[in-house]
Structure 1
Amino acid sequence: MKAVVGFMVILLGVSHGVETHCDGRHDGAQCYGALGGTVDIQLMDSTSEISRYQLLKNSLKILDVREKMILSNTIVHRSVFFPSNGTFRITNLSRTDSGDYTLQTFDSDGKSSGVQILQLFFQAPVSSVLLVSECLSQGERRVSCSSEGGDSPQYSWTLDGRTLTDAEILSGNMKTNVITLKQHVSGHLACSVKNLVSKVSKEQRLSTCGFIFINCTSVNGTQVSGWVYEANNILCIEPTTEPSTTPQTAVEIGHLPLISGVLSTLIIFLVVVVAAVCAQRKKQNSKTKEEENDQEEIFADLRVVKQQAKQLEKRAELEFCRVKCSKRPRQTEPTIDDCLYVNVHKFR
């Protein structure tokens, strides 16, 4: 029974830098390579026990080896054969290199000892991807993915690292290069383009087109349900509801406790500041009254001292008068007039 084996490509670069390895030891094997690149075809395990073998492409002999000696190689300018491990390398691949390759082996008598067929396919690798999106009239979003170069491209889509679901796609499918997303879809959308020899992807951050889903009573009393542009929504007289909470709405709802906490802190801070200002003013008023009371007490004390000084002065004058009068003859008693005379004489 013939075994059909397909081999994917191991990419080491782009275009001329792409190298692939092909196991052609099984009859019916299929191998793929990149145009402009290199392919290593392993034809057999060992050549030591094979007297002669030939490699033909579409019945045209391109390689003839006998007793480990290369008799002919029609593409010697871009190929080389390694008898030690039975590998045939072809470089600078072109589309004409695609086709059916036949390996024929012969025994020492020149009789055919085996035939196996190998199929080679060479494609142009995908070099880049362009991702374009646009909003439609009802809030849907059309996204197109185009590749530059590349034969037989295959497309696939992911949203935030996962496969898109049917609930998110309005039209198109995962294998087309143009899809239409429903109104509520947002996130990191990625398009991957690949073929048998390459794979390239492109990612874009998508947001909603500004539409919301309403399910409410209109101004005239009728029930309204559907998608409308949020900025121009005048149909509802009651809060609108959406079928699903978008990431942006979830973030806004999550911020409400934080905003409430900030406002509460600000109000408390203002109350504390006002209380501190009032206490400071009250303290200053109290201090001013105390200073005024102290001044009044000082003035009162000064008046008392002044009065006491006047009384002492009067007492001293009386005592002086008595002393003066005591030195006069005893036949006469000092009178008030005499004392007044002494006082007047004193102050002259």
Structure 2
Amino acid sequence: MLEAVVGLLLMLLGVSHGVETYCDGRQDGAQCYGALGGTVVLQLMDNTSGISRYQWSIKTTTTTTTIIRWTNNMIVINAIANRSSFTPSDGTFRINNLIWTDGGEYELEIFDSDGNISEKRTLQLTIQAAGYLPIMAGVLSALVILLVFGVAVVCAQKKKQNNKPKEKEDHELTYADVRTVQQPVRQMQKKAETEVEVEYGQVKFPERPQQTVEPA
């Protein structure tokens, strides 16, 4: 039981940074969400087949920062390469260990072979801390189970200790009762024997012959 609770705690703590969400960003104006510290998988396109160049950037009120730039079937820029990966075959971009600054408005620009923009669309990525709430609830539940288990063990030990003196006392009381019952029986036997002796004495007296004493 204790090992199971500890294992549950370790498992919950281990997956705290493994919450993964998926978002289809192929529609213009898509709303995507990711859990702080978790992973988000964004589908930017069907695949890169036939695309000579595209660029994915995050926009703020003052600047635009390029996150990915794809040219001639290869990534030439990846600003967050240490915690992200792109899969050309299905057009998905995966971001791990999400931080607050990952949230914002992203813009995808696809260029044709002449260098002209053939398609443009945006998506909004929102980072939420709510992804930790189920994990924390699971951790708290495991702690409660551990606490209940500990209380049950303590109560069982106390009950075991309390039962030992009680059993000994019951045995002593039983022995006392037996001794008390046996004592009157012995007295009754002695009394019966005395009465029998007295009766025998009374019977013997009348049976003796009377002798006549003649004067000398």
SS at match of 1:198: helix
CA–CA distance in 1 between the matches of 2:14 and 2:110?
A: 33
Aligned residue type for 2:92: T
> Given the alignment of the two structures, is residue 198 of structure 1 paired with residue 203 of structure 2, yes or no?
no
> Given the alignment of the two structures, is residue 302 of structure 1 paired with residue 204 of structure 2, yes or no?
yes
2:36 and 2:131 in contact (8 A); partners too: no
* CA RMSD between the two structures: 4.0
Deviation at residue 100 of structure 1 after TM alignment:
0.4
Deviation at residue 197 of structure 1 after TM alignment:
5.0
Q: Relative CO higher for 1 or 2, CA cutoff 8 Å, sep ≥ 6?
A: 2
Match of 1:177 in 2: none
Distance 1:79 1:282, change over 3 A: closer
Aligned residue type for 1:71: V
SS at match of 2:209: helix
CA–CA distance in 1 between the matches of 2:132 and 2:116?
A: 38
Q: TM-score, with normalisation over the residues of structure 2?
A: 0.55
CA–CA distance in 1 between the matches of 2:106 and 2:38?
A: 18
Q: TM-score, with normalisation over the residues of structure 1?
A: 0.37
CA–CA distance in 2 between the matches of 1:62 and 1:76?
A: 9
CA–CA distance in 1 between the matches of 2:50 and 2:132?
A: 35
For 1:185-264, list aligned pairs within 5 A: 195-199=130-134, 200-201=136-137
Deviations 1:121-165 (A, max 9, x none): 2244xxxxxxxxxxxxxxxxxxxxxxxxxxxxxxxxxxxxxxxxx
Deviation at residue 298 of structure 1 after TM alignment:
0.9
Deviation at residue 299 of structure 1 after TM alignment:
0.6
2:19 and 2:131 in contact (8 A); partners too: no
* Ranges in structure 2 where 5+ consecutive residues have no aligned partner: 1-12, 145-176
Give 1 or 2: higher strand fraction.
1
2:34 and 2:126 in contact (8 A); partners too: yes
CA–CA distance in 1 between the matches of 2:102 and 2:37?
A: 11
CA–CA distance in 1 between the matches of 2:15 and 2:87?
A: 24
CA–CA distance in 2 between the matches of 1:22 and 1:12?
A: 21
> Given the alignment of the two structures, is residue 94 of structure 1 paired with residue 99 of structure 2, yes or no?
yes
Distance 1:284 1:117, change over 3 A: same
Deviation at residue 196 of structure 1 after TM alignment:
4.9
Query: Identity across aligned pairs (percent)?
Result: 42
Aligned residue type for 1:101: Y
Aligned residue type for 2:86: F
1:12 and 1:19 in contact (8 A); partners too: no
SS at match of 1:303: helix
> Given the alignment of the two structures, is residue 32 of structure 1 paired with residue 37 of structure 2, yes or no?
no
Match of 2:125 in 1: 120
CA–CA distance in 1 between the matches of 2:128 and 2:206?
A: 122
Deviations 1:12-37 (A, max 9, x none): 733xx244233123332222334444
Give 1 or 2: higher helix fraction.
2
Deviations 1:196-241 (A, max 9, x none): 55333468x9xxxxxxxxxxxxxxxxxxxxxxxxxxxxxxxxxxxx
Deviation at residue 39 of structure 1 after TM alignment:
2.9
Aligned residue type for 1:97: D
Deviation at residue 60 of structure 1 after TM alignment:
2.7
Deviation at residue 89 of structure 1 after TM alignment:
2.4
Deviation at residue 62 of structure 1 after TM alignment:
2.0
CA–CA distance in 2 between the matches of 1:68 and 1:197?
A: 38
Match of 2:52 in 1: 51
1:53 and 1:105 in contact (8 A); partners too: yes
2:34 and 2:127 in contact (8 A); partners too: yes
Match of 2:21 in 1: 21
**Off by >4 Å, runs of 4+ in structure 1:** 280-285, 287-290
Match of 1:184 in 2: none
